[in-house]
Amino acid sequence: MRGSQKGAQGAKVADTGAPTVLILMYHAVIPTRLAVPHSCFLERGSFERRLRYVQSRFEIVALEEALERLQADRRRARLAVLTFDDGYQNHHDIVLPILEQARCPATFFPVSGFVGTEDTLWFCRVHRAIALTRKDSVVWDGAVHGLASGAECARATHRIQEALKVLPQPQLLERVGELSRVLGVDPEEPIAANSHHRMLSLEALQRLAESPWVTLGAHSHSHAVLSLLNTADQAQEIDRSIEFLERTTASRCNLFSYPNGRAVDYNAVTLQHLAARGVYAAVTTEPGLCRPTTPPLELRREAHEPWVPGWLFRWKIRRLTTRRPGDVPAGRGT
């Protein structure tokens, strides 16, 4: 699914030798900061500042163009790609207008099973339950997690998520429900239309697909970690997500984003099935730049948490792209 607008209108980028592509990974973009921070939820102002900085140092292009130029070596410019995982309603309500105003292309990877529903992803249920509970602490799997402050809740959310994500999907969902009930929160309560946990409506997904600045790719049907599934279940997760997007948008889907995205979260079975489905590019969450030698089904992405201050975000990007290991952070602007 290819947007017609290839590259962003922005600053010229100097010749840097062999081409590289920086793929940035985002999830939700929300109006204001949350009382309980979470790695998936970035405040709008921070996103806009980061976007302006990336525009000043890179040529932002669609993912397909970046891969074509990476292989053809047509221009020796530094290229950047924006990607957004999961399919939150704020991708339509907040991100799309920003991209259109900035004239920046991006690729969105919605989880097909949640589009048009009042449900949300399991880790959003964990975050929501911890944010809403009236408890000051919770004992979970033998560990005591403080919940008296936003910072404590954020730490508890992260630790519990990390423990849960290694479980097979049925057991994971059962445990998320159990945690919610322990915290006094209904694990099946519909997600409100104005919630930052709300997933894309069908109409919003179709509006994204119509934008010349947007490309869509699949991100599985339920966000299950694929390497934990057998061959048949992997195929079903991938096929249902691709077929849903193709049916909904009447366009070919040949891009994919791995749920969780680490090298251990997919395997040779995954790669073989994606190739058989005609998927020619897939993104991971393994950090680093993409180069001509990077396997197209194992593209690297950079993620920078919402709590990383602007000066540190800029330094990390400079250090990554200029490859100066001795650089030290300087200048703590906003």
Residues of the chain with CATH 3.20.20.370: 20-118+199-322
Higher-scoring residue by pLDDT: 86, 13: 86
Report pLDDT digits (tens) over 30-71: 999 999 999 999 999 999 999 999 999 999 999 999 999 988
Phi/psi for 255 (5° steps) reads -125, 150
Distance of CA 112 to the CA centre of its chain: 14
Higher-scoring residue by pLDDT: 26, 7: 26
What does pTM read for this prediction? 0.91
Q: Is the pLDDT of residue 239 over 50?
A: yes
**Alpha-carbon torsion angle 179, 140, 43, 256, nearest 10:** -70
For range 163-187, the mean pLDDT:
97
Question: Using CA atoms, how far apart are residues 146 and 21, in angstroms rounded to an integer?
Answer: 41
What SS3 state is found at 16? coil
Q: Residue 123 has what pLDDT?
A: 98
Q: Is the pLDDT of residue 173 over 70?
A: yes
Q: What share of the chain is helix, strand, coil (3-state, %, to 5)?
A: 40, 15, 45
Cβ contacts of residue 56 below 8 Å, gap of 6+?
10, 11
Question: In the structure, what pLDDT confidence band is assigned to residue 74 with cuts at 50, 70 and 90?
Answer: low
Q: Is the pLDDT of residue 248 over 70?
A: yes
Q: Is the pLDDT of residue 75 over 70?
A: no
Other C-beta atoms lying within 10 Å of the C-beta of residue 231: 12
Question: Using CA atoms, how far apart are residues 166 and 155, in angstroms rounded to an integer?
Answer: 18
Q: Residue 12 has what pLDDT?
A: 42
Question: Using CA atoms, how far apart are residues 150 and 153, in angstroms rounded to an integer?
Answer: 5
Query: Got the DSSP string for 221-289?
Result: SS---GGGS-HHHHHHHHHHHHHHHHHHHSS---EEE-SS-SGGG--HHHHHHHHHTT--EEE-S--S-
Report pLDDT digits (tens) over 194-218: 999 999 999 999 999 999 999 999 9
C-alpha torsion sign, points 93, 94, 97, 103: negative
Q: Is the pLDDT of residue 330 over 60?
A: no
Q: Residue 76 has what pLDDT?
A: 64
Helix (H) or strand (E) holding 80: strand 78-86
For range 108-131, the mean pLDDT:
98
| Residue 266, token pair as written in the block | 């997919």
Q: Residue 328 has what pLDDT?
A: 41
Question: In the structure, what pLDDT confidence band is assigned to residue 322 with cuts at 50, 70 and 90?
Answer: confident
Question: In the structure, what pLDDT confidence band is assigned to residue 319 with cuts at 50, 70 and 90?
Answer: confident
Q: Is the pLDDT of residue 2 over 80?
A: no
Taking phi over 0 as left and psi of -120 to 50 as alpha, with beta for the rest, 147 belongs to alpha
Q: Which CATH class is domain 20-118+199-322?
A: alpha beta
Question: In the structure, what pLDDT confidence band is assigned to residue 320 with cuts at 50, 70 and 90?
Answer: confident
Q: Is the pLDDT of residue 251 over 60?
A: yes
The type of residue at 307 is W
Highest mean pLDDT among 75-79, 218-222, 308-312: 218-222
Question: Using CA atoms, how far apart are residues 292 and 79, in angstroms rounded to an integer?
Answer: 12
List b or e across 129-144, with b for residues whose CB sees 16 or more CB atoms inside 10 angstroms. bbbebeeeebebeeee
Question: Using CA atoms, how far apart are residues 180 and 295, in angstroms rounded to an integer?
Answer: 40
As a whole number, the mean pLDDT across the chain is 91
Q: Residue 6 has what pLDDT?
A: 42
Question: In the structure, what pLDDT confidence band is assigned to residue 325 with cuts at 50, 70 and 90?
Answer: very low
Q: Residue 17 has what pLDDT?
A: 59
Cβ atoms 197, 224 nearer than 8 A:
no
